[in-house]
Amino acid sequence: MSDTAALLDRFLTAWNGQDLAGVTDCLAEDVVLCGSDGSTVRGRVAVAAVFADQLGGDPDLVIEPIAVRGERGFGYFSYPVAEDGSTLRGVDVYTVRDGLIVAKDVISKIA
């Protein structure tokens, strides 16, 4: 398993276990989070605060790793189907440097 794959596995295990400390340990001090809503959050403390709000939000949400290429990783996510029949699906794109996540870009759509 590559270093990037091992880091993302650790991150996703912490995320799926709602372990904020474990998630935060995987982030670089200068991490940048780009949300699917166009927002940008910079810095480990600020990104961890966003993640803290998201971790307990939907226990049915699970993010799964789907591919790793060099220092970039991709994770698929999907929310349960809503009452109107729609669901939010997407891909998280992670960039890793020096063994930590330096960027997470969220790309999503409602289907």
pTM: 0.88
Q: Please calculate the CA angle 10-14-15 and round it to the nearest 5 degrees.
A: 115
For residue 54, the model assigns a pLDDT of 83
| Per-residue tokens: 57 | 């939000």
* 3 state SS for 60-85: CCEEEEEEEECCEEEEEEECCCCCCC
| Per-residue tokens: 27 | 């982030």
How far apart, in Å, do the first and last CA atoms of the chain sit?
A: 33
pLDDT digits (tens, 9 = 90+) for 43-91: 999 999 999 988 866 666 667 767 899 999 998 888 888 899 998 889 9
Least confident range of 6-10, 31-35, 66-70: 66-70
